[in-house]
Amino acid sequence: MKTHNMNKISWRKTIKYAAFLLITTTVDLAHCQGTIISVSGPPAPPNGVSGFNGDLGVGTSLAGVSWSSTAAFSHVNISVALQGDSGATGVAFLMTRIGSGTTTANQIASASFAFPTSSSLTPVFSSLNLGAGIYFLIIQQTATGSTGDGVWQGTTSPTVTLATYVTANGEYWYNGSFPSYVPASAFGSGLTTYYDYTVASVPEPSITWLILLGSGVLIWGRRSLALMGLSDDKS
């Protein structure tokens, strides 16, 4: 009887410890998935009317946003609401700082993209692993396309969605001649973000299967205890 009770206590502790590890791992994975920051809302009228869009011009205008996080995120995708003429192209920079003194040492990634002919969320980065810190996303137009400049679509009524541990730091703009390294431009800034964009962490299939497998093992363990007469039933 004594041995049976000791086995019961031991198995209970094992299952409870496994459950604790599973819950901790699941919560940690969950907080690192989904929307990190998103700004959206009804499209603003053209800047001649509203001034809420990010003007972009080849060699003359830049637009950007910033956010900060005290947590790390993996498999991060970034999309920006852009519109331009057919053939218009641009470059996105993801930085840890901007402005005077900025160098390539502050650059996390850069990527080229093509402007859509109608306003839509355009992917500019994918599968990034971002640690805790402050980030700046800068958009530069590099070719005008058929008729003119592109635009980073803004909204007059922004809805900002934030993950836990994430803060929106506003938006940035620059008009003038570019320095040799574009992110080192002397940006102006505003505390409210009106430019539409989304930063999201997409879980890998392996992570989803890990959570499901762990849940299955936990259920199997509790059923095994019941069959062995070692369940939490106190009768």
Strands (E) in the chain, as ranges, are: 34-40, 54-55, 61-69, 73-83, 89-95, 107-114, 120-130, 133-143, 151-152, 159-162, 166-175, 188-190, 197-201
Q: Are residues 142 and 219 in the same domain?
A: no
Rounded Cα distance between 77 and 103, Å, is 24
Rounded Cα distance between 44 and 53, Å, is 7
Total structural domains in the chain?
Answer: 2
Q: Are residues 95 and 118 in the same domain?
A: yes
Distances in whole angstroms, Cα of residue 155 to Cα of each of 46, 163, 188? 10, 21, 19
Q: Are residues 111 and 139 in the same domain?
A: yes
CATH number of the domain at 95, please.
2.60.120.260
Q: Rounded to two decimals, what is the model's pTM?
A: 0.76
64 in any annotated domain: yes
Q: What percent of the chain has a predicted confidence (pLDDT) above 70?
A: 71
232 in any annotated domain: no
Range of the domain at 20: 2-30+206-227
Site of tokens 């650059």: 107
Q: Are residues 158 and 216 in the same domain?
A: no
Coil, helix or strand at residue 139: strand
235 in any annotated domain: no
Q: Are residues 193 and 210 in the same domain?
A: no
pLDDT for 57 equals 87
pLDDT band at 221 (very low <50, low <70, confident <90, very high): low
Q: Are residues 196 and 152 in the same domain?
A: yes
| Residue 88 CB neighbour total at 10 angstroms | 25
pLDDT for 27 equals 47
Distances in whole angstroms, Cα of residue 101 to Cα of each of 8, 50, 219? 65, 33, 56
Query: 95 and 111 in contact (C-beta within 8 Å)?
Result: no
Q: Are residues 142 and 195 in the same domain?
A: yes
The pLDDT tens digits for 114-155 are: 999 888 999 999 999 999 999 999 999 999 877 778 899 999
80 in any annotated domain: yes
Rounded Cα distance between 47 and 66, Å, is 21
Q: Are residues 122 and 221 in the same domain?
A: no
Q: Are residues 190 and 81 in the same domain?
A: yes
The pLDDT tens digits for 42-71 are: 999 887 556 788 989 889 999 999 999 999
234 in any annotated domain: no
Q: Are residues 90 and 111 in the same domain?
A: yes
CA dihedral over 102, 104, 108, 110, signed as positive or negative: positive
Distances in whole angstroms, Cα of residue 228 to Cα of each of 3, 11, 19, 231? 14, 10, 19, 8
pLDDT at 208 over 60: no
74 in any annotated domain: yes
HSE-CB for 113 with a 13 A CA cutoff: 26
pLDDT for 45 equals 87
63 in any annotated domain: yes
Q: Are residues 126 and 94 in the same domain?
A: yes
Q: Are residues 143 and 211 in the same domain?
A: no
57 in any annotated domain: yes
